[in-house]
């Protein structure tokens, strides 16, 4: 492995640790994501999920170990060439985007790797793509709305459209359904499911707090606790009551109903 990462490898972490203030936020994580897999990342608050996504997005370098993203080893590749191949939709991005820009502009600026600046010479083709992605996320009625006036759910859908704009090979989603109402969550799960099952859609890694948010089409789960991998593998094998209980530190029962998942605490007594 390592130097000779196969083309079919989307992400290869070997013994990756991220240490801050003497503490390992990510602790000796080895994890391999292959083409065609769609991963859900589960773990309690503070487990290191966002930190791990930041490594996968090439914005954070491991303190120890090696990270190979889309066949390129971090530390040996020009990240400015790598980053356009990765789409990231998380709320940290939302804070960097100009609130006065319209929704359409917000998505369009991604095509040029910028967070700000409206240019007059965007290609027609880019605008068509931006409109198509926004349509796919159900945002066609909001094209001229200012980004800063959007509700949380609308903002999240805009960020996903934006992340798709560069035609990424890897799409990273950090809690895309957090803060959405039940209808908004179900709508997003349906849209993510469509994306996850689209054979030409990018590889996807999604952090979530709730198994109810796992869209059909997702194939694998990574569970982390205190920076360490607790389970990694196909959903059907690894998303068990036992693993989930160990991950969250309380007795939980997980069930699969059709192509969706639910989890709840064991009743007392």
Q: Which residues bind Mg ion (CB under 5 A)?
A: 49-50
Of 46, 40, 92, nearest to 212 (Cα)? 40
CB of 89 to Mg ion, least distance (A): 13
25 binds ligand ATP (CB under 6 A): yes
Comparison of 143 and 263: residue with beta carbon closer to ligand ATP: 263
Phi and psi at 29, nearest 5°, equal -90, 125
Comparison of 56 and 97: residue with beta carbon closer to ligand ATP: 56
CB of 29 to ligand ATP, least distance (A): 12
The one among 2, 21, 199, 249 contacting ligand ATP by CB under 6 A: 21
CB of 254 to ligand ATP, least distance (A): 18
Pair 203, 10: CB distance under 8 Å: yes
Phi and psi at 197, nearest 5°, equal -90, -5
Which ranges of 22-166 does DSSP label H, i.e. alpha helix? 49-56, 79-82, 91-96, 103-108, 124-136, 152-164
Question: Scanning residues 46 to 65, which ones bind ligand ATP (CB under 6 A)?
Answer: 46-51
Question: Scanning residues 88 to 107, which ones bind ligand ATP (CB under 6 A)?
Answer: none
Helix (H, G, I), strand (E, B) or coil at 61: coil
4 binds ligand ATP (CB under 6 A): no
Of 158, 117, 122, nearest to 140 (Cα)? 158
Pair 142, 150: CB distance under 8 Å: yes
Question: Per CB under 6 A, which region of 41-49, 66-74, 141-149, 153-161 contacts ligand ATP?
Answer: 41-49
In angstroms, the CA 98 to CA 108 distance is: 13
Comparison of 5 and 33: residue with beta carbon closer to ligand ATP: 33
Among ligand ATP, Mg ion, none, what does residue 25 contact (CB within 5–8 Å per kind)?
Answer: ligand ATP
Q: Using CB under 6 A as the criterion, what x/- string covers residues 228-247 for binding ligand ATP?
A: --------------------
20 binds ligand ATP (CB under 6 A): yes
Pair 238, 39: CB distance under 8 Å: no
In angstroms, the CA 240 to CA 242 distance is: 5
In angstroms, the CA 161 to CA 83 distance is: 17
CB of 17 to ligand ATP, least distance (A): 12
Among Mg ion, ligand ATP, none, what does residue 48 contact (CB within 5–8 Å per kind)?
Answer: ligand ATP
Contact positions vs ligand ATP (CB under 6 A): 20-21, 25, 43, 45-51
């Amino acid at each position: 492995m390592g130097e000779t990462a196969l083309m079919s490898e989307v992400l290869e972490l070997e013994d990756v640790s991220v240490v801050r203030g003497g503490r390992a936020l990510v602790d000796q994580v080895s994890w391999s994501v292959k083409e065609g897999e769609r991963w859900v990342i589960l773990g309690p608050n503070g487990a290191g999920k966002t930190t791990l996504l930041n490594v996968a997005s090439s914005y954070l370098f491991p303190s120890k170990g090696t990270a190979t993203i889309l066949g390129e080893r971090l530390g040996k590749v020009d990240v400015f060439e790598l980053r356009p191949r990765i789409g990231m939709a998380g709320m940290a991005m939302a804070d960097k985007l100009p609130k006065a820009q319209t929704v359409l502009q917000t998505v369009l600026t991604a095509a040029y790797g910028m967070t700000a600046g409206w240019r007059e010479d965007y290609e027609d083709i880019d605008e068509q793509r931006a409109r198509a992605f926004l349509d796919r996320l159900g945002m066609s009625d909001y094209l001229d709305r200012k980004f800063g006036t959007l509700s949380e759910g609308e903002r999240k859908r805009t960020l996903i459209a934006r992340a798709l704009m560069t035609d990424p090979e890897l799409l990273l989603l950090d809690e895309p359904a957090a803060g959405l109402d039940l209808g908004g969550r179900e709508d997003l799960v349906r849209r993510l499911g469509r994306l996850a099952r689209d054979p030409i859609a990018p590889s996807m890694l999604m952090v979530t707090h709730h198994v109810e948010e796992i869209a059909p089409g997702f194939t694998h789960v990574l569970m982390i606790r205190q920076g360490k991998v607790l389970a990694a593998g196909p959903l059907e094998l690894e998303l068990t009551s036992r693993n989930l209980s160990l991950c969250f530190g309380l007795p939980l029962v997980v069930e699969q109903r059709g192509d969706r998942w639910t989890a709840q605490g064991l009743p007392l007594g």
